[in-house]
Amino acid sequence: MVSFILILIASFFFTGIVVRVKSLAQGRKGPVILQPMYDIWRLLRKGSVFSSTSSVIFQIAPSIYFASVLMAMCVVPLCGNQGLVSFEADFVFFAYVLAIGKFFTIIGALDTGSSFEGMGAAREALFSMLAEPAFFILIGTLGLLTGNMSFASIFETFHFGSYTSYAFAGIAAFVLLMICMIENSRMPVDDPKTHLELTMIHEVMVLDNSGFDMGLIMQATNMKFAMYSALIANLFIGNLEWYTSIGVFFGVEILCAIAVGMVESFMARYRMSHNAQFILVLTSLALLMFFGVMASQGRI
Amino acid sequence: MSLTNLFNIVAEQEPFAIDTLSWWFIAIVTFVFAAGAWYGKGYLGHYESKPVQFRMHWLSYAVTYIGMMVLFTTNNMLVFLLGWELMAIGSFFAVIFENEKPLVLKAGINYFIQSHVAVLLITAAFGWAWSVSGLLNFDGIRSFLAQASEMQTFVFMMMLVAGFGFKAGIIPFHSWLPHAHPSAPSHVSAVMSGVIVKAGIYGIVRFASMMSVGQTTVGVTVLILGVMTGLYGILNAAVHRDFKRMLAYCTIENIGIITMGIGVGLIGCGRGDSTLAVLGFAGALLHTLNHAIFKALLFFGAGNVYVATHTRNMEELGGLIKVMPQTAFVFLIGSLAIGGLPPFGGFVSEFVIYGSFLDGFGADGLSIPVLMALSGASLAIIGGVSMLTFTKSFGVIFLGEARTQRPHVVHEVKNGMLWPSYLLMLPMLAVMLMPTLFFGMTTSIAESTYNLNMGAASTGAIAGFAEILGKVSIGFVIFAVIAGIVVALRFNAVKKAPTHVTNTWGCGYGAPIKGIQYTSKSFARTLIELFKAVLPSSSRYKAITTEEIFPKDRSHMSADSDFWENSLVNPITSGIGKVLDKFQFIQNGDLQRYIVYGLGYILLLVASATLL
């Protein structure tokens, strides 16, 4: 429960920091950190516009997406507290719960009958499929390294002190950050701020959502950011005391937000056809780590 | 040996024995056959065939069922082959219900021939075992395998895996499935896809348990075959536009997942790692149950769509959720379950298989952990492509606007065709809420069938995994509660705020034609390009040149074909055909020649009688 609340708090300022970093990089002052939350709060109270083509799927899709992210947050441990739901191989559950949210976002987009949204849906389905194996191999490898297979026990036993675990944490943090960017459809694979529907992935899928639903979708994105950053933070917390670990958690959250902002400011989006290669590179990185762990355990 | 003699031998050896593995398959098959019969009653009501055709159809349906029951209960090679043959012939006649259509007949004959190639392989393997041991019951196979070398065991098992692979749809023996499933009436597709292919799985699980050496090699081979089958099946499923063919490929994918479980189980047996063995087999058996249920559910949904719209091409459909909400619900539940998405049944079995892979990570040596990691990654890819396939299928068939105007009014099917689907959801709900119970059943089946030596460590590990599944089901409940609360809050909030209904956003253009919507083909386009090597497709299109100032009307045609069928099955069959063509001069339709043949035969008889 502690992790759930901490991630929720982090989600309130994560996107705000990203936006602020981007505007500073462009030489602007930028809005206040909590501006995205004000926007969401406004959206939640606004009325909605529905397409006459859409059906009940369109109405429930954002809610199920939001619920799936909430459920995934329940699985993530933090600061020595296990998640609300914690068991061996819970990362499989984590990934599949997020998948059901994605499933509904995709069919929600198809429900509008818009060709733009169909296009976004097809891309989302493809790219998230490609990112799947990287995540499984990565967490499986961490499990192999620590001899445990649940999030909580993996992170508890992931000690620092040996050079190899520093190296593994570094690679793992990079892969997780990239998976986070893909899952949230951010810069190297997707540009949410582009001016043209044809070049978007996630944003184009929610073109027809408005009001409360849009608010849910935006907050779900914030929470997803905070949640993946929490996984990264876990790599560096180990079994620290609770007061230090909370500090480390917020530190990592802020660093991740700054990293996202920097990537978005200084990188261009890849061509859509190059995305597949880029995402598969993550899988090979995870595999590299797998072999590294095998080697460090003297099994090669 | 005369026929009565043979009967006596078979009868003396008590040809029937039922154990827990038999019960598991009997229960699944009976349930799906019953649901299929109920559904078929409503489904066939839409055909104006002669009564004799209906009688013939239901007779063959029953014969198929009887054949399967014989198969699962027998303890004798001859009776097993008899049951296999009954099943093959019965299902052949059940498939060709619409035999006035040439394509249906062709698909049926394709299926018939391929099932007999399978019989040939199995008979050869049985004959080998019989010739060595001299026994016709399964003990003959056991005693044969007890003395066989590792190489002999491997060859023997590969003959059986190939033979049963034909029935189950393991690549490259799968090529009949995508033809037969779309041609059969939907209730037959449901039982074929849901349970008849499982006869192959039963065969592999049953006979692999008799091995005494070399399980690891066989296990690794089966696991690799499973991974390839799974990936190949789901990639093809993502491409096809005929929704029943899509479901057939999806069956191939799920057979791949089940085979992966069996492979892991055998590796566990070979290494003496009971935990790994039990997890692998339990995952495979559990997925057999789950897949039987949700595949039948999906075929019932597909059958409803076919009955209502008279097309199997999803590019012509769209927006059906508005006219067929119940069918849409059935199909949606099936799609979510087959993708292994929590909280539906499919997740439980896939989770057990993931668990077995993770357990295999800790195995000694390099090869097994690497194999497990790659298989786990493949299962993750399969899950991802499966999501693409089913979002596409559900979205294109049921959501958006109708892509073509059907010549008649489309409306929801009768209740008699919906209730069987709801019936199927009951066991799925049971798996969701009580995964521990089902896991317990499958683990005890695996332990007793494979005579596993369960030490304290393995018993503890399996009990621990059962506990995990209990927590998974709690996770399901929590997720359902959270989703319920969010949906309720959302509808409450939307009701309070003003809403209005307008067009879908089209960049300011308000009157787009229906055909502009994303189609199944365009949805899968990037995937097809990524996997061009194994997804052959041909297209016919004349590109617009720069000289053409006013381009004329154009058409674009594309067709997807099967990689293995093109590169393996067709060359072999056409090769055989070419050789046989050389003998065509014998059958030339010339009456005089035939009289000469007859005369020659009689002369030969007379000559042989006088000479010998």
ipTM of the complex: 0.93
Inter-chain residue contact B341 with A96, CB threshold 8 Å: yes
Cβ–Cβ contact B407 with A under 8 A? no
Q: What residue has token string 């089940």?
A: B258
Query: Please, which pLDDT band fits residue B224 given cuts at 50, 70 and 90?
Result: very high
Q: Which domain holds residue B87?
A: 12-213
- Domain for residue B251, yes or no? no
% of chain A at pLDDT higher than 90: 34
Query: What is the average pLDDT score of chain B?
Result: 89
Asked which of B2-16, B209-223, B477-491 is least confident by mean pLDDT, the reply is B2-16
Query: A99 vs B378: CB contact, 8 Å cut-off?
Result: no
Q: Using DSSP, state whether B416 is helix, strand or coil.
A: helix
Cis preceding-peptide flag for B343 (omega within 30 of 0): yes
Which residues, in sequence order, are bridge partners of residue A81? A78
Residue written as token pair 């003998």: B583
Residue B557, beta-bridge partner list: B540
Residue B72: the pLDDT is 93
Interface contact B479-A97, CB threshold 8 A: yes
Of A76, A68, A58, A286, nearest to A173 by C-alpha is: A286
**pLDDT higher at A146 or B5:** A146
The better pLDDT of the pair B283, A150 is held by: B283
Q: How far is B340 from chain A (nearest CA, A)?
A: 8
Closest CA to A99 of A125, A120, A77: A125
pLDDT of residue B161: 94
Based on the number of CB atoms within 10 Å of its own CB, is A277 exposed (0-12), middle (13-18) or buried (19 or more)? exposed
Which candidate from B388, B467, B497 shows the least CB-CB separation from A126?
Answer: B388
pLDDT of B40 strictly over 80 = yes
Preferred mutation among A66, A129, A297 to probe B, highest tally of B CBs within 10 A:
A129
Q: Mean pLDDT across the stretch A120-145?
A: 88
Does the CB of B401 have a partner CB in chain A at under 8 Å? yes
pLDDT of res. A13: 92
- Is residue A79 within 8 A of residue A1, CB to CB? The reply is no
Residue B383 makes CB contacts below 8 A (sequence gap 6+) with A96, A99, A132, B339, B340, B350
Task: Read off the pLDDT band of B2 (50, 70, 90).
Answer: low
**Among A67, A28, A216, CA closest to B485:** A67
pLDDT for residue B265: 94
Is B486 in Cβ contact with A66 (below 8 Å)?
yes
B190 class by beta-carbon count within 10 Å (0-12 exposed, 13-18 middle, 19+ buried)? buried
pLDDT average, residue stretch A189-213:
79
Structure tokens at B193: 């896809």
**Contact partners, residue B88, CB within 8 Å, separation at least 6:** B67, B112, B115, B116, B119
Residue of A nearest to B337 (CA): A100
Closest residue by Cα to residue B398 from B327, B310, B335: B327
User: Contact B387/A129, CB-based, under 8 Å?
Assistant: yes
Nearest CA in chain B to A130: B381
The amino acid occupying position B109 is I
Whether B1 shows a pLDDT value over 60: the answer reads no
Highest-scoring range by mean pLDDT, A195-209, B3-17, B286-300: B286-300
What are B429-442's pLDDT values in tens digits? 999 889 999 999 99
CA distance A110 to chain B (A): 6
* Cβ of residue B579 closer than 8 Å to a chain A Cβ: no
**Interchain proximity A62–B490, CB inside 8 Å:** yes
Q: What is the pLDDT of residue A152?
A: 83
Min Cα separation B501/chain A (Å): 5
Contact state of A136 with B517 under an 8 Å Cβ cutoff: no
Closest chain A CA to residue B498: A47
- Report if residue B72 sits inside a domain: yes
Q: What integer is the mean pLDDT of B502-513?
A: 79
Flag whether residue B504 sits within 8 Å of chain A, measured between CB atoms.
Answer: yes
pLDDT (0 to 100) of residue B3: 66
Mean pLDDT along residues B8-13: 74
Residue contact A64–B486, C-beta within 8 A: yes
Angle (nearest 5°) at CA A281 between A279 and A284 = 125
> What is the mean pLDDT of the segment spanning A195-204?
74
- Beta-carbon contacts below 8 Å between A and B: 263
Residues of B in contact with A141 (CB under 8 A): 373
- Which of A44, A67, A137 has the CB atom closest to B486's CB atom? A67
Q: Select the residue of A49, A70, A300 nearest B500 (Cβ to Cβ).
A: A49
Which of B443, B449, B451 has its CA nearest to residue B17?
A: B449
**pLDDT mean over B395-412:** 88
CB-based contact B523:B136 (threshold 8 Å): no
The helix or strand, by DSSP H or E, that contains position B218, with its residue range, turns out to be: helix B215-239
B513 in any annotated domain: no
- Would you say residue B175 has pLDDT above 60? yes
- Give the integer Cα–Cα distance in Å for A88 and A100: 20
Mark yes or no for CB contact A71/B475 under 8 Å: yes
% of chain B residues with pLDDT over 90: 51
Non-local (6+) Cβ contacts of A59 within 8 A are A50, A213, B490, B491, B494
How far apart (Å, rounded) are the C-alpha atoms in residues B154 and B540? 46
- Which tens digits make up the pLDDT trace of A86-107? 888 888 999 999 999 999 999 9
| pLDDT band at residue B534 under the 50/70/90 scheme | confident
**What's at B32, amino acid-wise?**
V
Check CB contact under 8 Å for A211 and B376: no
> Which residue, among B336, B519, B523, B525, would best test binding to A if mutated, counting the most A CBs under 10 Å from its CB?
B523
CA distance B102 to B96: 10
Give one word for B413, left, alpha or beta, with left for phi > 0 and alpha for psi -120 to 50. beta
DSSP-assigned letter for residue B76? B
Q: How far apart are CA B22 and CA B4, in angstroms?
A: 28
Q: Give the pLDDT confidence of A24-67 residue by residue, as tens digits.
A: 999 998 899 999 999 999 999 888 999 888 899 999 999 999 99
Q: Is B531 an 8 Å CB contact of chain A?
A: no
User: What pLDDT does A161 receive?
Assistant: 65
Q: What are phi and psi of A48, to 5 degrees?
A: -120, 155
* B604: in domain: no
In a domain, B146, yes or no: yes
**Pairing status of strand A48-51 against strand B537-540:** unpaired
Residue A83 in tokens? 């998640």
CA angle A217, A222, A224 (to 5 degrees): 90
SS3 B38: helix
Please give the angle made by the CA atoms of B385, B388 and B389, to the nearest 5 degrees.
Answer: 90
Q: Pick the more confident residue, A298 or B273.
A: B273
pLDDT: which is higher, B240 or A185: B240
**Residue at B168 is within a domain:** yes
Using a CB–CB cutoff of 8 Å, tell me whether B498 touches chain A.
yes
Chain A interface disruption, residue of B317, B374, B393, B399, most A CBs within 10 A: B399
Over residues B581-600, the pLDDT tens digits come to 888 888 888 888 899 999 99
Specify which residues B500 forms β-bridges with.
A49
Note which residues in 259-318 of chain B have CB less than 8 A from chain A.
Answer: 318
Cβ pair B497:A116 closer than 8 A: no
Hey, is the C-beta of B487 within 8 angstroms of any chain A C-beta? Answer: yes
A47:B498 CB<8 A: yes
Tell whether B510 is covered by a domain: no
For B370-380, how does the pLDDT look when each residue is reduced to its tens digit (9 = 90+)? 899 899 999 99
**pTM tops 0.95:** no
Residue A162 has pLDDT above 80, yes or no: no
Rounded Cα distance between A246 and B85, Å, is 67
Instruction: Using the predicted structure, report yes or no on whether residue A201 has a pLDDT greater than 80.
Output: no
Q: Would you say residue B82 has pLDDT above 80?
A: yes
User: Which range has highest mean pLDDT (A69-83, B22-36, B350-364)?
Assistant: B22-36
DSSP string, chain A: -HHHHHHHHHHHHHHHHHHHHHHHHTT-----TTHHHHHHHHHHHS-EEEETT--HHHHHHHHHHHHHHHHHHHH--BTTBPPSS--TTHHHHHHHHHHHHHHHHHHHHHTTT-HHHHHHHHHHHHHHHHHHHHHHHHHHHHHHHHT--SHHHHHHH---SSHHHHHHHHHHHHHHHHHHHHHTT-TTT--TT-S-GGG-SHHHHTTT--HHHHHHHHHHHHHHHHHHHHHHHHHHHTT--HHHHHHHHHHHHHHHHHHHHHHHHH-PPPPHHHHHHHHHHHHHHHHHHHHHHHHHTT--
pLDDT band at B290 (very low <50, low <70, confident <90, very high): very high
Closest residue of B to A53, CA-based?
A: B400
Encode B172-190 in three state secondary structure: CCCCCHHHHHHHCCHHHHH
Do the chains contact at A88 and B468, CB–CB below 8 Å? yes
Q: How many domains does chain B have?
A: 1
- Ranking A12-21, B246-255, B510-519, B568-577 by mean pLDDT, the lowest is B510-519
Task: Reduce the secondary structure of B396-407 to three states and give it as a string.
Answer: HHHCCCCCCCCC
Structure tokens at B139: 């003990």
CB contact under 8 Å between A59 and B468, yes or no, is no
Task: Record the tokens describing residue B496, joined without a space.
Answer: 């309070």
Whether residue B53 lies inside any domain: the answer is yes
Q: Give the H or E element holding residue B451.
A: none
Q: What is the mean pLDDT of residues B533-555?
A: 82
